Structure 1
Amino acid sequence: MALPGLSTSAWTTDSSSAPAAAEPGVVPRPWVIGEIKASGLKNVKMSTIRGQTKARKGDLYDRPDLDRDIQSLLGMGEFERVGAEISILDKPVPEHFRKAAGGDKQVLLTFTVHEKPVVRKIFFEGQKKLSKGTLSDLLSVKTSDPYDRFKLAEDRRKVMAKYREKGFLDAVVNSEVRTDTAASKVDLVFKIVEGPKSRIELVELNGAKQLKAKKLLKLMKNRRKKVYVEKDLPEDVQKIETEYKNNGYLDVRLSTPLVTLSPDKTRISIALGVEEGRAYRFGETTFSGYLVFTSSSLRKTVEYRRGKIFSQEKFEDTIRGVQELYADVGRLRARINPVKTFNDDTGQMDVHFEILEGPISYVDHVDVEGNKATKTHVIKREVVVRPGDRFSASRVRKSREKIMNLGFMDEVDVDLQASPTDPDKVDLTFDVSEGKPGVLTAGAAYSSIDGLIGTLSLQHLNLFGRAQKASLQWSFGKRVQDYSASWTTPWVGDHPTSLGFDVYNTRRVNPFDTSMSAYVEKRTGGAIRVGPRFEEDKYQLNLTYSMARISIQNVQEQYRGTLSEGTSIQSSFSAEFARDTRDSIWDPSRGTRLSLGGQVSGGPFMGDIHYFKPFTAGQTHWTLFSVEDWPFVLSAYERAGYVTQFSGTKQVPVQDRYFIGGQDSLRGYSPSGEAGYPSGGKIYGVANLELGFPLARERKKTIVKFVVFADAGGSWDRVRDISGRIGTDTRNIKTDVGFGLRFVTPAFPIRLDYGYGLNHRNGERLYQINFGLGPLF
């Protein structure tokens, strides 16, 4: 207890002031704390006070320590005011503190607090047109939070803005605070008078002659019958101006929009005036100030042609192209000054680019931020830019692509800052946003070949934070029963070499000739994969050894002379060399992947099945155009292969022949003899063309994509059987068209296609519904 008759020292600070200057007071400093208490607590616990302050019983304590603790308590946002009292206790100072302490008695430290009331409930009165959930999501103040009048005022403005956005231009929002002093709690009430909803009745563009007003007005968000959103109006005006400048009208002028509200406040009219001016065409393009590049190299960046209508967009794209060209050789500070001059003789707009190349910039530091589960070195090893390297924009872009290709990143932002120690150096920071690497999925799908199929899959793309991939998968149905597991690590030590294994146990009812259920194939086995990569993943060598026990059972009576029942062991080795320049392995929008390889079964690898199977594959992707950041991508695929038996194998087993049709080749045909050699070919070739565009995107990544496609191909028993003609004959090339959906997720990519065959024979079904997992190939 405090000694009677002795004064105390006291300090008080509120949330809008700083601590008072230190004063000697009547209690000598520094103090030795004997006890710690708090007064004024209602909703905040004493344990919270202890956790927020540094004061501890038995410690030496001084005024700077007290100031720090008071500010720490204020920083919690729970208190209006915080004070402290120091009282002397009838406890002697410990021996080891007697020289350091200001007095010979310990003290009682009492924090005196005045709590902010806690928000108990939040009410909306008068709200009808907007849901309470919608309004609640806007609020920064939540129940159980300390009451903050500034946050309440801001939330009132947010609610008002939401009503304006939804067309209630006359809405009034007030707030009321109902205080329960005894409980130190408040109820917040938003009182709303919604008023009538306003819609745009008329939008006029006066003065538009050379460009159609109807087309221009479609660019606006504030269109007829839409809800008027004031904040979108400047952007609407800018879109119209940009459209004019992209059509050569560089001198276009637009008036300030005149917005008129009807007397009953339900109808809005918007009037815009435009002075178009003359239309310009591109004239001669010249460059000066360049030393690093030749004039011809610079001209390759020009996005327009002489004599064409001047386009501001292509003009700005050209400037960016020149800047990117210089940034790729380290000239980050290159300056491009465009000078436009109207040529009276030609009637065209000549463009001259004055270039100040600037010094070369080098990379000083490379850092990674934002990673929580992933180890930093796992991300850094994908970065191809190293400290000391000359800066290269394309190599920075390549680094970002490699990080995204890990499969579990939602986004990777690159921050570029000048080095504080050297003006000719820059610091690079890759700020990553990790997604959910583990995915448990269950679903069902239907295909024309396999019927109803169920799937259950557990996948992890970032095991132990080391980018290792592991999966367990089960597919089941009347015709399918598949179990599989796999594991892959993308690096072995510090080497860019993947290592992985697969194990599987499958049972499938397979088609053959004209039957959809000709035989049952059971396959149990596994594979070991090794894949070294070279030149920053541009080149890959994929090596696989696999062994499987294969059983052919339940062969239909009419095929027993062709198909043999029994069990065999297959031991094989395959090698593939690939060149890959795609920007993404999951959803490419540009680049190619070309590969050549072969598989040897049996021979030196033993087993019962002996054959050699060379193959080739290629794919190319082009972004035709983009709507904002939604790309329309054209993709072309081709595959071809050949198989021949040797040693004791008299004919290639049925499971290793080429059957054309279904989800991975000709999607408008069944693999049961509708396309290609009925008994399975020894030679095949397939080409696919797809045009895809996003239906849903998130964080600049496509989640759902719609595609239209065309396929062509066939399989043959001998080279001399190949016919270059399209038709219904077995030797002819078959074609189809169709459309489909792509669910683009690295953990569980799904394809659903409807294919319509163009070269069916009489009696065959003209279409197929195909369900597949993974990319096309």
Structure 2
Amino acid sequence: MEKQANNSIKQTQYTTRLYLKLLLLLLFTANGFAQETSFEDGKDYILGGLSVTGLQSYNEQTVKTYTGLRVGQPITIPGDEISAVIKKLWSLELFSNVEMYYTKIEGNEIFLELNILERPTLSNVTVYGVKKRKVEDIINDTDLKKGKKITESLIANTKNYLQNKYKKQGFLNAQVQIVTASDTTGTNTENMVINVKKGDKVKIRNIVFDGNEKLGDKRLQKSLKNTKKKKFYRFWKKSKFIEADYKEDLSSLVDAYAERGYRDARVLNDTFVKVDENNIDLRIKVEEGDKYYFGDINFVGNSVYTDRQLSQILGIRKGATYNGVLLKKRIADDTKPDGQDLTNLYQNNGYLFSSINPVEVSAVNDTIDFEIRIIEGKETFLDHVTVVGNDKTNDHVIFRELRTRPGQKYSKDNIVRSIRELGQLGFFDAEQIAPDIQNPDPNAGTVDVQYSLVESGSSQIELQGGFGGGGFIGTLGLSFSNFSLKNIFNGEAYKPVPMGDGQTFALRLQASRTFRVYSLNFSEPWLGGKKPVRFNLSLSRTQQFATNFNNQGRIDVDRDRGFAITGVSAGLAKRVQWPDDFFTISHSLAYQLYDFNDFNNGLFNFGNGSSNSLSYTLGISRSSQGPSRIFPLSGSNFELTAKFTPPYSWFSGKDFKQIKTDINDITTRLFELGPTPGTIEEQIEFNELSNELERLEEERFKLLEFYKIKFKGDWYTNLVDKLVLRTNAEFGFLGSYNNDIGAVPFERFFVGGDGLGNFTLDGRDVVQLRGYENSSLTPFSINPITGNQERDGGTIYNKFSLELRYPLTLKPSASIYALSFLEAGNAFNNFSEYNPFELKRSAGVGLRIFMPAFGLLGIDFGYGFDRDANPNSTGPSGWQTHFIIGQQF
């Protein structure tokens, strides 16, 4: 209060002094000075002194310096110098009042006083009516930073911005009030309070059309993509009124007429009627005009392509109903970078500077004739191709994927394809790959292209622990998808490992009391560095130990008994140019040693001995999905593989028919005796037959022979915005060359569950089918030795799925998308039992999170509508929860 009183006294003293000065000035001019010197013409003086009054926070000398006035300089009063100083100070928007006075005149010297009134400074902002997490966004968007000068325009602009912001969101009744109050804790500072009253969203109760006879109300309502009237069942498109969307939809309404021949259709007027605080009615009056048809369409200025070639791309024939929207798309389709249109035809073949314009040359009755006027321009070639933003990835890894090279003809299609290839690498954020066309020179016919990249994490670590299989399971996995093998002995390249050459190196260790898994994988995508030939090398070792339950019900592990798989595989995959350059042909050679030591888990009828598998795999695949491999928006991915072993039985000389007969006879007798024979003689016979069965089984599968055919196809369809439909179909078949040997106990199909392979490396395919427990759709069989029902794996399966995906965020730090799915599939013992329509169905929802450091994580909730393959199951599988870790995209 004392401070305010002092300020008031000072202001009174200043006002009194000002009035005295004005009085002296009037007396002075009344004595004849004004008659001798015209103020209109101005009089020349020497500036004798300048003082600044009214300052509260600024330094007087700083203001004097900014005016540009210097003591001793000539000055005209009144004149341009004083006007310029006042205008200059006003332009700063730091002062609410600026005035210049002269205090005295001594001879030809004049003394001036600059009086200013500072604008208050913003101290603090409080926002009411919005969520706390939104306050910071409002302050940032309106630039209400501490220390900012408070002006009328700042308050008005802030109020208008917030009201428009909420109106765009459908809050048409939004009100914003802004008040300021003095902050006594600072000098000339004020606090600001913003009170936001959004109210309820205004909904569209009804949309009324007037003047429409050719197109019905339903057709016109459908053309309004984002403006919908209120319906109880409407979820996807809300019925709120957003002015920007509404104006855009009015253009879509006119396009709906133009697509049906009504070229002259227009919206005469549109209004909305307020029904109540929360509802409005829209009234749209249209004028339809007459229906038109295409007449002659002639091409002018074309020399590169013939009229016939251009007509085929245009696809519009004389006599067809006029369609202005289609004509525009066939000239240049802005919605598709790779669209089939005339502009892309030229730009994909070197004519960057071409221009194509359709011109109406006549309109007689209901027929419109067109000329397609073409300026082809000079053929364009790429001069420089550069990349920026790759801090980790070496340039040669990027350039080898580009379809644009210096000296080549300019091709828009090649640029689009280059974006896809860079996105598929997984080293960069696919959403931020931006080609920049630079230095276009129509006279020289050259242009530069620069690709701007944003590096994303290309290494993943898997470190987890949990309980399962009777004990603790620990996993350590390291995956480097941008590895550099040549720098492995270069200590300076470890950041934390050598990176940048696009190679893949993965190491995974998993262990528990009952099993151990070691695997190492290396991949070089450009073997030799000149052609896209991928080399893969994989080493693996799995050990599974025998277990028994002790008297306390706990699991005892016997490490002297177990089952081990040792495997090595190498492969080459080459991208080919035919049928198109999305195809890849792959070859791989693999060897697995299956070693049993007094171990029988039901899948194999022998517990001692070994099996050997030497196989060759031929694969044909086509992958055009993109642009991102994490969340593809379009394209497809097909893969057909055929895996073969040599047909050893054809030249081994063994009588497998007799072996099969002996096995069947022994199996029948074992079932008769049962797993627990009653007499000593039967027990002896049971043991002898069991040993003989194991010997025969080992002999039958000493050298594994089989062939395995698999097909998998994925289609990605962009429905609207970034809503994507993924359609999937899969099929697999495991066959044998010799019916007397039959299907091998390895390489089988286990259907159901999350689709994660866990630690099994016996060649099996673990097929995801959500809504069911893991492998629960796999056929059962009875072990003749133990008498237990056990899953042997199917030899044939098929699966179909529909998955609707929508991204929540696709940022480099984390890509998150939600999904819903419908799935159906099943596995069968053999081809004679196969029925492609006997499917187990499920539906559900899920969420996926991809973080570069940890890979893909997710959760699915699926409901199985059918019972699983267990003979004891009586009802549907019901709800199942699946956790996804590191699964394929």
- 1: CA distance, partners of 2:839 / 2:511: 30
Distance (Å, rounded) in 1 between the aligned partners of 2:712 and 2:296: 38
Per-residue Cα deviation, 1:236-273 (whole angstroms, up to 9, x for no partner): 322322333334433221134324557x8665443321
Give yes or no for the alignment of 1:433 onto 2:433. no
Q: 1:315 aligns with which of 324, 327, 331?
A: 327
Are 1:453 and 1:475, in contact at CA under 8 Å, matched by a contact in 2?
A: yes
Aligned counterparts, 1:307-456, within 5 A:
310-320=322-332, 321-339=341-359, 353-410=372-429, 411=431, 412-419=433-440, 423-438=444-459
Correspondence for 2:804 among 685, 693, 701: 693
* Corresponding residue number in structure 2 for 1:627: 720
Matched, 1:234 2:237: no
Q: What secondary structure, in the 3-state scheme, does the structure 1 residue paired with 2:349 have?
A: coil
Pick closer, same or farther for the CA change 1:338–1:441 going to 2, 3 Å.
farther
Partner of 1:208: 212
- Over 3 Å counting, the alpha-carbon distance change for 1:480 and 1:202 in structure 2 is farther
Residue deviations 1:468-515, cap 9 Å, x none?
A: 4455668899999867564545345634344555455657899xxxxx
**For structure 2, which runs of at least 5 residues remain unmatched after alignment?**
1-58, 72-91, 96-117, 231-238, 333-340, 484-498, 547-560, 649-697, 756-765, 782-789
Instruction: Specify the alignment match of 1:564 in structure 2.
Output: 606
Per the alignment, residue 748 of structure 1 pairs with 856
Residue in structure 2 matching 1:160, options 163, 176, 181: 163
Rounded Cα–Cα distance in structure 2 between residues aligned with 1:116 and 1:462: 57
Q: Deviations along 1:299-325, whole A, 9 cap, x unmatched? A: 443466777765444333322312212
Structure 1 190/442 Cα, relative in aligned 2: closer, same or farther at 3 Å?
farther
Paired residues of 2:527 and 2:534 also in contact (CA < 8 A): yes
Matches within 5 A, 1:591-602: 591=636, 593-600=638-645
Higher gyration radius (CA): 2
Check whether the contact 2:743–2:795 (CA below 8 A) recurs between aligned residues: no
**After superposition, what is the alpha-carbon deviation per residue over 1:564-595, rounded to whole angstroms, capped at 9, x for unaligned?**
12464756464434343423355473245454
Q: Which residue of 2 aligns with 1:39?
A: none
Task: Please tell me whether the aligned partners of residues 481 and 504 of structure 2 are also in contact (alpha carbons under 8 angstroms).
Answer: yes
Q: CA deviation at 1:387?
A: 0.5
Do residues 192 (structure 1) and 204 (structure 2) align? no
- Deviation string, structure 1 residues 498-553 (Cα, Å, up to 9, x no partner): 4555455657899xxxxxxxx99654656555545455674343435455565587
Q: Could you say which residue in structure 2 is the equivalent of 1:539?
A: 584
Q: What SS is found at the alignment partner of 2:398?
A: helix
Contact 1:445/1:771 (<8 A) preserved: no
Call closer, same or farther: CA 1:692–1:413 in 2, change over 3 Å: farther
Does residue 529 of structure 2 align to residue 494 of structure 1? yes
| Structure 1 residues 161 and 465: CA distance shift in structure 2, 3 A | farther
Structure 1 gaps of 5+ residues are: 1-10, 24-76, 81-114, 511-518, 717-721, 724-728
Instruction: Give, in whole Å, the separation in 2 of the partners of 1:623 and 1:283.
Output: 39
Counterparts in 2 of 1:288 and 1:616: CA distance versus 1, 3 Å: farther
Q: Distance in 2 between matches of 1:313 and 1:367?
A: 37
Superposition RMSD in Å: 5.6
Is 1:136 the counterpart of 2:140? The answer is no
Determine if the alignment matches structure 1 residue 251 to structure 2 residue 272: no
User: Contact conserved, 1:526 with 1:548, CA < 8 A, in 2?
Assistant: no
How many angstroms apart in 2 are the aligned matches of 1:22 and 1:373? 58
| Mean Cα deviation higher: 745-754 or 368-377 | 745-754
Which amino acid letter does the alignment assign opposite residue 425 of structure 1? T
Candidates 822, 828, 835, aligned match of 1:708:
822
Q: What secondary structure, in the 3-state scheme, does the structure 2 residue paired with 1:257 have?
A: strand
Match of 2:248, SS state, is helix
Secondary structure of 2:606 counterpart:
coil
- Tell me if structure 1 keeps the 8 A contact 2:589–2:615: yes
Give the counterpart letter for 1:656 in structure 2.
E
Q: C-alpha separation between the residues in 2 aligned to 1:12 and 1:236?
A: 58
Distance 1:666 1:554 in 2: 29
Whole-Å Cα distance in 2 between the matches of residues 229 and 666 of structure 1?
Answer: 43
Amino acid at match of 1:158: Y
Take 2:719 and 2:63, find their aligned partners in 1: how far apart are those partners?
52
Q: Residues of 1 paired with 2:299 and 2:177: CA distance?
A: 59
Following TM superposition, by how much is the alpha carbon of 1:213 offset from its aligned partner in structure 2, in angstroms?
A: 2.8
Q: Structure 1 residues 327 and 165 mapped into 2: Cα distance closer, same or farther (>3 Å)? A: closer
- Within 1, Cα distance between the matches of 2:572 and 2:428? 24
| Matched residue, 1:37 | none
Q: Are residues 537 and 566 of structure 1, via their aligned partners in 2, closer, same or farther at CA, if it must alter by over 3 Å?
A: farther
Cα distance between partner residues in 1 of 2:863 and 2:522: 32
1:543 partner amino acid: S
Q: Distance in 2 between matches of 1:637 and 1:294?
A: 45
Counterpart Cα distance in 2 of 1:296 and 1:637: 43
1:41 aligns to what? none
| Residues 531 and 224 (structure 1), Cα distance of their counterparts in 2 relative to 1, 3 Å cut | closer
One-letter amino acid matched to 1:695: Y
Give the TM-score taking structure 1 as reference length. 0.65
| C-alpha spacing 1:324/1:379, structure 2 compared with 1 (3 Å) | same
CA contact (8 A) 1:156 1:190 kept: no
| 1:59-111 Cα shifts (integer Å, max 9, x gaps) | xxxxxxxxxxxxxxxxxx9x99xxxxxxxxxxxxxxxxxxxxxxxxxxxxxxx
**Letter aligned with residue 239 of structure 1:** S
Q: Distance in 2 between matches of 1:253 and 1:261?
A: 24
Q: Give the Å deviation of 1:367.
A: 1.6
Alpha carbons of structure 1 residues 335 and 163: separation in structure 2 relative to 1, 3 Å: closer
AA partner of residue 417 (structure 1): Q
Q: In the alignment, is the contact (CA less than 8 A) between 1:147 and 1:186 conserved in 2?
A: no
Structure 2 equivalent of residue 147 of structure 1: 148
Query: 1:572–1:528: structure 2 CA closer, same or farther, 3 Å change rule?
Result: same
Give the conservation status (yes or no) of the 8 Å contact 1:139–1:158: no
Return the offset for 1:656. 3.0
Q: Give the CA deviation at 1:445.
A: 13
- Give the superposition deviation at 1:147: 3.1
Please give the residue correspondences for 1:620-659 in structure 2 after superposition, counting only pairs within 5 Å.
626-640=719-733, 642-644=735-737, 653-657=744-748
Question: Does structure 1 retain, via aligned residues, the 8 Å contact 2:638–2:714?
Answer: no
Query: Which amino acid in the other structure matches residue 720 of structure 2?
Result: V
Distance 1:568 1:16 in 2: 98
Note if contact 1:361-1:390 (Cα within 8 Å) is conserved in structure 2. yes
**More deviation in 753-762 or 372-381?**
753-762
| 2:778 corresponds to which of 660, 672, 675 | 672
Report how many aligned residue pairs link the two structures. Answer: 644
Separation in structure 2 between the aligned mates of residue 469 and residue 697 of structure 1, nearest angstrom: 29
The answer to whether the aligner puts 1:270 opposite 2:282 as a matched pair is: yes
The 1:506/1:761 distance shift into structure 2, 3 A limit, reads closer
Q: 1:541 to 1:760 in 2, by over 3 A?
A: closer
TM, length-normalised to structure 2: 0.58
Structure 2 counterpart of 1:416, which letter? I
Question: By percentage of residues, which structure has more helix?
Answer: 2
For the Cα contact (< 8 Å) 1:119–1:144, is it kept in 2?
A: yes
Q: CA deviation at 1:673?
A: 1.6
Question: Does the CA contact (< 8 Å) of 1:528 and 1:546 recur in 2?
Answer: no
Per the alignment, in what secondary structure is the counterpart of residue 390 of structure 1?
coil
* Residue 576 (structure 1) aligned with residue 623 (structure 2): no
In the other structure, the counterpart of 2:87 is: none
Distance 1:458 1:16 in 2: 67
**1:658 and 1:249, CA in 2 relative to 1: closer, same or farther beyond 3 A?**
same
